[in-house]
Amino acid sequence: MADQNGSSGDDLEHSISAEGLSKSFHGFQAVDGVSFQVRKGEFFGILGPNGAGKTTTIRMLTGVLKPDQGRILIDGIDLRRDALAAKQRMGVIPEVGTVYTDLSARENLELFGMYYGLSKPVRQERATQMLKDLELHDRADDLVKTFSKGMKQRISIGCAMVHDPSVLFLDEPTEGLDVQSRKLILDRVRAMNAAGCTVVITTHNIEEASRLCQRVCIINKGQVVTVDSPEHLKSTFEQTRSVEVAFEGQVSCQELSPSCMLRVEESGDKMRIFTSDPDRTIEEIMRLRDERGLRILSLSTLGPSLEDVFLKLTEAKR
Amino acid sequence: MNLRLAVRGALVTARKDIRIYYRKAPVYIFGLVLPLFLFFAFFVGRDLDLQRYFPGFLAMTIFFTSSSVGPLIIPWEKQAGNFERLLTLPVTVPMIVLGDTLAGTLFGTLISLIILGVGSLFLPLSIGLSSVLGLAALFFLGNLCFAALGVLISSPAGRVPSNVMMLSTLVRFPLIFISGIFTPLVELEGSARTLGMLSPLSYLSDGLNGVMGQETLVPIWVGMLVMAAFTLVFLVAASLVLESKAMKGL
Ligand SMILES: Nc1ncnc2c1ncn2[C@@H]1O[C@H](COP(=O)(O)OP(=O)(O)OP(=O)(O)O)[C@@H](O)[C@H]1O
Ligand SMILES: [Mg+2]
């Protein structure tokens, strides 16, 4: 049976299938042979540093940009052959694209509902529901141009969800938002996902990606570095956590116990100690301080940085 | 392509344009104030027979108003960041072009109907019952044609509305001087007439002259066919250009 199901069975199971996507701008290869598959109902992350090609990839997947090469299937529908049917199934928050600031929150929701072909009673009901879910009902009839950034982004996500899409594409949806707006938006996205909607999210926040996503695709310089579950990538992430400390006076890193550090970088009076166990490293730093009677000028723990993760991953590949 | 989805996309786009862009000042400055200004500059106080020149003035109004909405929309949406979002919706570029054109058509039709109404109060216009149909067809075709021209002008644009407004003035002004607005085409000769016949606006002013009982250069229905052909060319060209320049300025 498994043999017979072959690729068509895969296509049915996959919400998104990207095959060998490439795109160049004036000779510069922004995306270079990116392939991955996203299962139905999966929460999928695309992670990469600035300029990695995340937005370009999302633009191709959502039909904004035509790939130079490659094929895209959305729920088994070829995006090039039947763009309208494929787009009908998507909800999209582009990185820079916004809703209409000259319309009110409710007018925007209804306009997007119209574009997605919802009948009048349905779109009115969905708009009201969305406004409530996004805690915007008291501002429903105000023009979006009077909204704060977080409120704008909330209405933006509402517009992407108004037709109950089967796939959501979100390009850095929480960039620059405060904790509350971020939580509200991610809660809505998680609720959609729990109801069976496939979610693709791009971010350069590793913590956020590993918290939300079932699998993450890491891309760098337009190419896929790896696609894996956050659990599997975790050790890579953790090895790149670090503690940064500055002592008053000269201290050599040799004075710290080597068991609590993977690698040390020194710059100026600061030491950056890479470790998989920041807690132990800080204990060790305190021990040194007490023993030697030193003063600590600054002490901070740093999350995993993308650059370090890429270094690690590309090292591992070699 | 699914026809029902296509029609829906174009109509929703037109509806959105009407809701948003009919309120914008540049539409009125370039679409209303400009033709009025030209009217006063060329017709008033020069002891001209207003009735003789009314069809030309009407053609000019249709031309300016219908082509003033289109150039605004795409650059405005690119600047505001709506355009990329629009492209993610179930619409295609030709549907966007058609929707923007319809919005311009309706705007031009409304304003030119008002002008016609006001004109008929002051001037003893003689429009026979049989000509009313011709007049309606000319209004629709003229407005559609120049609304499409307006969208075509904005199709290669980036994200600065004022640049496009400048370009559109650059395209539109020469056209009114060669199109038999100030001197009916039948009175022109030689190269001036040949030049005039290259402009779609000539066929509108010529046709309006015809339905208002004056001499025409070509039969009215021929003029209509020519305008329809121009409209088609403008729509197709706008779609092709916008398709290739969609990402400019994003
Ligand atoms: N329209 C365009 N014209 C020219 N170059 C482009 C265009 N869009 C993207 N690029 C280039 O392609 C590369 C990838 O850009 P992209 O926006 O996809 O990166 P990204 O991963 O989304 O980055 P960020 O995290 O900063 O959003 C960049 O080097 C960018 O300069
Ligand atoms: Mg990006």
pTM greater than 0.80 (yes/no) = yes
Distances (CA, A) of A182 to A162, A172, A215, B228: 19, 11, 21, 52
Mean pLDDT of A42-53: 91
pLDDT confidence bin for A316, thresholds 50/70/90: low
A58 lines ligand 1 (CB under 6 A): no
Residue B178 belongs to what H/E stretch?
A: helix B161-178
pLDDT band with cut points at 50, 70 and 90 for residue A12? low
Q: What is the pLDDT of residues A248-281, one digit of tens each?
A: 877 777 777 777 778 888 888 888 888 888 888 8
Quick: pLDDT tens for B71-117. 889 999 988 889 999 999 999 999 999 999 999 999 999 988 988 88
What is the DSSP secondary-structure string of A177-223? --HHHHHHHHHHHHHHHHTT-EEEEEES-HHHHHHH-SEEEEEETTE
Whether B221 has a pLDDT exceeding 60, the answer reads: yes
- Give the pLDDT mean for B45-62: 80
CA A165, CA A90: separation in Å to the nearest integer? 5
pLDDT at residue A35 above 80?
yes
Q: Is the CB of A55 under 6 A from ligand 1?
A: yes
Q: What percent of chain A has pLDDT over 70?
A: 93
Q: What is the pLDDT of residue A68?
A: 94
Do residue B84 and residue A97 have CB atoms under 8 angstroms apart?
yes
Q: Which of B36-50, B81-95, B125-139 bottoms out in mean pLDDT, i.e. has the lowest?
A: B36-50
A203-230 mean pLDDT: 88
User: Rounded to the nearest whole angstrom, what is the distance from the C-alpha of residue A205 to the centroid of ligand 2?
Assistant: 12
Apex B22 CA angle, B205 and B82, nearest 5? 120
Mean pLDDT score, A173-179 = 87
**DSSP class per residue in B34-75:** HHHHHHHHHTTTTT--HHHHHHHHHHHHHHHHHHHHHHHHHH
Q: Which residues in chain B have their CB less than 8 angstroms from residue A92's CB?
A: 85, 88
Least confident among B15-29, B170-184, B229-243: B170-184
Task: Enumerate the domain spans of chain B.
Answer: 3-247
Instruction: Give per-residue pLDDT as tens, A14-27.
Output: 999 999 999 999 89
- What is the pLDDT of chain A when averaged over all its residues? 87
B116 Cβ contact list (under 8 Å, min separation 6) = B58
Residue B201 near residue B181, CB atoms below 8 Å: yes
Task: Quote the minimal CA–CA distance from B247 to chain A in Å.
Answer: 8
Question: Is A50's C-beta closer than 6 angstroms to any atom of ligand 1?
Answer: yes
In this prediction, residues B19-25 reach a mean pLDDT of 89
Dihedral sign of CA atoms A26, A78, A12, A210 in order: positive
Average pLDDT over residues A141-159: 93
> Is residue B148 pLDDT above 80, yes or no?
yes
How far apart are alpha carbons A151 and A183 in whole angstroms?
Answer: 13
pLDDT the model gives residue A254: 78
Q: Confidence class of residue A207 from pLDDT cuts 50, 70 and 90?
A: confident
Spatial CA neighbour of B139 closest among B103, B112, B174, B177: B112
pLDDT at A287 over 80: yes
Instruction: Kindly report, residue by residue over A217-241, the tens digit of the pLDDT.
Output: 999 889 998 898 887 777 777 777 8
Q: What is the pLDDT of residues A103-128, one digit of tens each?
A: 999 999 999 999 999 999 999 999 99
Residue of B nearest to A96 (CA): B81
pLDDT, position A4 = 40
User: Range with the lowest mean pLDDT among B139-148, B164-173, B225-234?
Assistant: B164-173
Q: ∠B158-B160-B166 over CA atoms, to 5°? A: 105
Which of 20-39 (B) contact A at CB < 8 A? 20, 23
Using CB atoms, pick whichever of B80, B84, B91 lies closest to residue A115.
Answer: B91
pLDDT computed for residue A6 by the predictor = 40
C-alpha triplet B23, B28, B31: angle, nearest 5°: 130
Asked if the C-beta of A114 comes within 8 angstroms of chain B's C-beta atoms, the answer is yes
Q: Are the C-beta atoms of residues B42 and B56 closer than 8 Å to each other?
A: no
Report pLDDT for B115: 86
pLDDT at B5: 85
Higher pLDDT, B173 or A90: A90
Neighbours of A26 (CB within 10 A): 4
- For position A5, what pLDDT does the model report? 38
| Amino acid A7: pLDDT | 46
Confidence of residue A138 (pLDDT cuts 50, 70, 90): very high
| pLDDT of B23 strictly over 90 | no
Work out whether the CA dihedral A104, A109, A112, A118 comes out positive or negative: negative
